[in-house]
A and B are shown apart, each in its own frame.
Chain A
């Protein structure tokens, strides 16, 4: 890192490996993510994309290799610790409680409490106001913040999940197939959101099957095949044919 103009990497994954019984799910994979950068992970089913992001988000523990966050080596035993470093993950199923409103979802598991005569009360007003502020900052439009989010559209729900990650100061945002379940206008909205986050300096790891999305959103593309990294390209210097070739091999 002699180049003074290059920013320090936000996240560095070095030679991580993971076995599940006899299956070598990940073989010495390395990755670097800079602030304000979108890194796309491409690969077929079973290529190791999910295993890799689960290691970064603290769900799985790597058998070998190391994780570095802002220049320091970190150990992640659970998702809580990852979150404490600002590594937030948005899963494909969004992990939202459909029966709760927007504020309750943004603050899920971290509800603020205010005391009245010594008794703790969940501070619903603060949850609603702060959730609204965060969403407005991301230019996310949601009409009703006080209804269960099951009445929101897929794109709005995706926005709530992103809003939650941002509210908790995500510096690294991992998104697993963020556009898979959405209609075309909503996909576009999510892609805009990713562009906004990028501008604010968040590093994004983006998993998708959709090469169009990958080429539209990412700065770099990393391709995994059968647990190994088989290539990495700047998005501006490659094309979908080359990426597909890397994905399927041969």
Chain B
């Protein structure tokens, strides 16, 4: 065993489980706060739990694809408006489909269209980054503008209401007491976890983020892998857009605007490094839950909503600091 100073081991533990610790501390804080001030329970109220879960869905769905991109050493700033684009197209296609076919057929067409339209910005991002060597920050920032404009143009600057009630019944329905959107999201989370942690694609994503030269020399098809990553990120955003349209019975270009940065925050709080090479789906889920608990919890205990921004910001900074300190101590403390 390499000799590890006790405080280094303690820090390793802290760094590895920091997201869980944050979540636990937040839940306990709100529980105590709710008891002390309002003689009420925060955690044991099923309505709160369900609300937090529904609240988590949109930022989490954006964050799932973002996790892959960030692990590969990139970033995708376009997901917010890719989500909006997808939401608007889903609404339009549903309305169009229902003019000549059954609601079910239009639903299928609408969902397919919502995914298909999202592939376009994802593919362009991937080609820009993999083939034309555009830095991910710049390429996806450009695509942020393009998808934003196109989404508003398609929506004619307003929201697109959905005709009929099928979509709304999915978006606001529940199965066995659990909100349908939450159940769908759990399914997507499981799929993404499989893809990242258990397949070669996921393994290569880590390798690209860890050392792209090593990945190239090992014969990994870095180009195709990178393009696939950005398409995956867009599809992940499309899930959020489609569920948004289902929930609000309307597609809106600005649907994802407020959650774009939350989604990146969720990935980082969940333990991913913006330098690439690390991060997990489980971490991202916890990260998204932390943000949702802060936002919902502060409302629950009647704090002015602007404190949410402060609280989320502080959690991001602490999270990255713990990571830095642990890496530094880890480097000095382990003698091979």
A98 to chain B: which residues have CB within 8 Å? 210-211, 277
Q: Are A80 and B200 closer than 8 Å at their CB atoms?
A: no
Q: Is the CB of B207 within 8 A of A100?
A: yes
| In contact, A120 and B278 (Cβ under 8 angstroms) | no
Which residues of chain B have C-beta atoms less than 8 A from A155's C-beta? Answer: 336
Known contacts A122-B198, A122-B199, A151-B330; A80 and B214 CB within 8 A of each other: no
Looking at chain A's contact residues, the main secondary structure is loop
B 230-251 binary contact with A (CB < 8 Å = 1; else 0): 0000000000000000000000
A93 interface residue (CB < 8 Å to B): yes
Given the contacts A109-B218, A120-B200, A100 and B206 also touching, CB distance less than 8 Å: yes
Instruction: List B contacts of A67 (CB < 8 A).
Output: none
Establish whether residues B194 and A109, one from each chain, have CB atoms under 8 Å apart when the complex forms: no
Closest to A105 in B: B214
Q: B329 contacts the other chain (Cβ, under 8 Å)?
A: no
A120 to B1, CA, bound (A): 34
Instruction: Judge whether A108 and B199 touch: CB under 8 Å.
Output: no
* B71 → chain A closest CB, angstroms: 9
What residues of chain A lie closer than 8 Å to B206, measured between beta carbons? 97, 99-100, 104
Chain A minimum-CB-distance residue to B333: A151
Number of interface residues of B (CB under 8 A): 27
**B74-103 interface bits toward A, Cβ cutoff 8 Å, 1 = contact, 0 = none:** 000000000000000000000000000000
Say whether B213 contacts A93, CB under 8 Å.
yes
Interface centre among B200, B206, B330 (most CB of A within 10 A): B200
**Set of chain A residues within 8 Å of B330, measured between Cβ atoms:** 151
Interface residues on A, range: 20 to 34
Let me know if A16 is at the binding interface, CB within 8 A: no
Q: Is the CB of A79 within 8 A of B219?
A: yes
- A109–B219 alpha-carbon span in the complex (Å): 6
Given A79-B217, A97-B214, A98-B211 in contact, is the A113-B200 Cβ separation under 8 Å? yes
Asked if B207 contacts A156 (CB within 8 A), the reply is no
Q: Is A166 an interface residue (CB 8 A)?
A: no
B146 touches A (CB below 8 Å):
no
Q: Are A120 and B199 in contact (CB under 8 A)?
A: yes
Report which of A80, A94, A97, A144 forms a contact with B207, defined as CB distance below 8 A.
Answer: A97
- Contact between chains at B2 and A99 (CB < 8 Å): no
Q: Determine whether the beta carbon of B215 is less than 8 Å from that of A109.
A: yes
Q: Output the nearest chain B residue to A149 by Cβ-Cβ distance.
A: B210
B270 at the A interface (CB under 8 A)? no
Among candidates A96, A110, A143, residue contacting B2 with C-beta atoms closer than 8 Å: A143
Asked if B203 is at the interface (CB within 8 A of a chain A CB), the reply is yes
**In whole Å, how far is A102's beta carbon from the nearest beta carbon of chain B?**
13
Contact of A95 among B194, B203, B218 (CB under 8 A): B218
In the assembled complex, B148 has its CB within 8 A of some CB on chain A: no
Q: Tell me the complex Cα distance, A152–B331, Å.
A: 10
Contact (Cβ within 8 A) B213 A108? no
Q: A80: nearest residue on chain B (CB-CB)?
A: B219
What B residues does A151 contact at CB under 8 A? 2, 330, 334, 336
Residues in A whose Cβ lies below 8 Å from that of B18? none
Which of B194, B200, B202, B204 sits near A119, CB closer than 8 Å?
B194
Residues of A within 8 A of B215 (CB): 97, 108-109
Provide the bound-state CA to CA distance between A113 and B215, in Å: 18
From A97, A99, A122, A153, residue with most partner B Cβ within 10 Å? A97
CA distance A33 to B66 in the complex (A): 49
Distance A41 CA – B256 CA, assembled complex (angstroms)? 59
Which of A93, A98, A151, A152 is most buried by chain B, counting CB atoms within 10 A of its CB? A151
Report which of B2, B200, B210, B217 forms a contact with A111, defined as CB distance below 8 A.
B200
Most buried by B among A96, A113, A155: A96
Within 8 A of B (CB), among A96-142: 96-100, 104, 108-111, 113, 119-122
Complex-state Cα separation, A104 to B220, whole angstroms: 13
Q: A83 at the A/B interface (Cβ < 8 Å)? A: yes
Closest chain-B Cβ to A164's Cβ sits at a distance in Å of 9
Expressed in whole angstroms, the Cα–Cα distance for A79 and B217 within the complex equals 7
Partner of B219, one of A100, A110, A153: A110
**Nearest-Cβ distance from residue A180 to partner chain B, whole angstroms:** 17
Q: Are A83 and B219 in contact (CB under 8 A)?
A: yes
A111 to B203, CA, bound (A): 9
Determine the residue in chain A with the shortest Cβ distance to B207.
Answer: A97
A98 to B209 Cα, complex, angstroms: 10
- Report the minimal beta-carbon distance from B122 to chain A, rounded to whole angstroms: 23
Decide: A108 and B194 in contact? CB cutoff 8 A.
no
Cβ contacts A to B, 21 pairs, < 8 Å: A79-B219, A93-B213, A95-B214, A96-B211, A97-B210, A97-B215, A98-B210, A99-B210, A99-B278, A100-B207, A104-B203, A108-B207, A108-B215, A109-B220, A113-B200, A120-B200, A121-B199, A144-B2, A151-B2, A153-B336, A155-B336
9 further A-B contacts with Cβ under 8 Å, apart from A99-B206, A108-B214, are: A96-B211, A98-B210, A99-B211, A104-B203, A110-B218, A113-B200, A144-B2, A155-B336, A156-B336
Sorted nearest first, the 8 A-B pairs with minimum C-beta distance are: A153-B336, A109-B218, A97-B210, A99-B277, A99-B210, A108-B218, A95-B214, A109-B219
